[in-house]
A and B are shown apart, each in its own frame.
Chain A
């Protein structure tokens, strides 16, 4: 241990330079390591940001829906249809569209009641 420390100290005090090849190799290794860390950091930042943006977009959409339903600027298209399709069944129901600023939602058509009897 003392020998290693002694060698380190003498290296630090030494006035000799390193060869260019040695320096370039050291730079290459540092650059590779730093590149990997940078990529990892960027990836984790992206994942965090992506999750937050999904939540944000969803709750903004909920607010937009509520605003559209209450706004006078919303255009209502009453004769829309919603197609249901699965492996074993198809169906169509009447809906109405609400449109504002290029965004659309659909909901049950006013007065639409296809209900089963008791």
Chain B
């Protein structure tokens, strides 16, 4: 065997050169693949602390939002049993009453959600930012609120100077006192009402890229 190898090495036949070139090619390709993978992984772990801080900012914002939704009773009032969104009046009977709860666009979303006759318009969406004053490292958290079916989707993300987006979607469902489609006649007045609360105990968190766009079906 040794003799054959030496004979092969000293051979001047074309096939030997071809084998040598093939061996070189395989080695070069293996090296290229290894280098490409190494290069693409380089820098992945240099922003670990920034990654953690960005997610902490997102989680902090999510907790604040969830806190506002917890324990709150929303009362819808309407003059008719099958109201359009603009006929619905929204009020909060208990719980905190600030941040997005006071936003006119959030009220529009609740009006739309509660209305029996939604027309052809899609559900409104709300976009807002939460910025921690005095903690610049926390950055801004962008929140997009949309409605799909009976679920409120809060899509939160922190942009770390354009390096990466740290994203999470928080899903919160709702419960109605008298069934999602039913308006009850208020005794003593000629109004129709229904009450709703957010089921924050069963809120779910999804780390994902996409979030459903506005629109609801009941």
A107 smallest CB distance to B (angstroms):
6
Judging by beta carbons under 8 Å apart, are B99 and A91 in contact? Answer: yes
Kindly list chain A residues whose C-beta atoms are within 8 Å of the C-beta of B53.
102-104
The bracket for how many chain B residues form the interface is 35 or more
A80 touches B95 (CB 8 A): no
CB distance from B44 to the nearest CB of A (A): 7
For window 1-57 of chain A, which residues contact chain B by CB distance below 8 Å?
15-18, 23, 27, 30-31, 34-35, 38-39, 41-42, 45-46, 49, 53-55, 57
B59-A104 in contact (CB<8A) = no
Tell me which of A38, A65, A89, A106 contacts B103 (CB under 8 A): A89
Q: Which residue of A lies closest to B92 (CB)?
A: A116
Is residue B201 within 8 Å, beta carbon to beta carbon, of the partner chain? no
Closest residue of chain B to A46 (Cβ to Cβ) is B40
Chain A residues with CB below 8 A from B58, complex form:
61
Give the secondary structure class of B's interface.
Answer: helix
Chain A positions 64-91 with a Cβ under 8 Å from a chain B Cβ: 64-65, 77, 79-89, 91
Question: Which residues from chain A contact B135 at a C-beta distance below 8 Å?
Answer: 77, 80, 97, 104, 106
Nearest CB on B from A45, distance (A): 7
Pairwise interchain contact B99-A93, C-beta atoms closer than 8 A:
yes
Of the listed residues B36, B98, B102, the one surrounded by the most CB atoms of chain A closer than 10 A to its CB is B98
Contact between chains at A17 and B132 (CB < 8 Å):
no
- The interface residues of chain B lying within 8 Å CB-to-CB of A30 are 25
> Closest CB of chain A to B114's CB: distance in Å?
18
Rounded to whole Å, the gap between the CB of A80 and the closest CB of chain B is: 5
Is A31 within 8 A of B25, CB to CB?
yes
Chain A interface residues toward B at CB < 8 A: 15-18, 23, 27, 30-31, 34-35, 38-39, 41-42, 45-46, 49, 53-55, 57-58, 60-62, 64-65, 77, 79-89, 91, 93, 95, 97, 102-108, 113-118
Residues of B with Cβ closer than 8 Å to A?
13-15, 17-18, 21, 25, 28-29, 32-33, 36-37, 40-41, 44, 48-49, 51-53, 55-60, 63-64, 67, 92-100, 102-105, 126-135, 137-138, 166-168, 205, 207
Q: Can you pick out 28 interface pairs between chain A and chain B where the beta carbons lie within 8 Å of each other? A: A17-B14, A18-B14, A27-B25, A31-B29, A35-B29, A38-B33, A54-B167, A57-B51, A57-B55, A64-B52, A65-B59, A80-B132, A82-B131, A83-B133, A86-B100, A86-B129, A87-B105, A88-B104, A93-B99, A102-B137, A103-B53, A104-B135, A105-B60, A106-B135, A107-B64, A114-B98, A115-B94, A115-B95
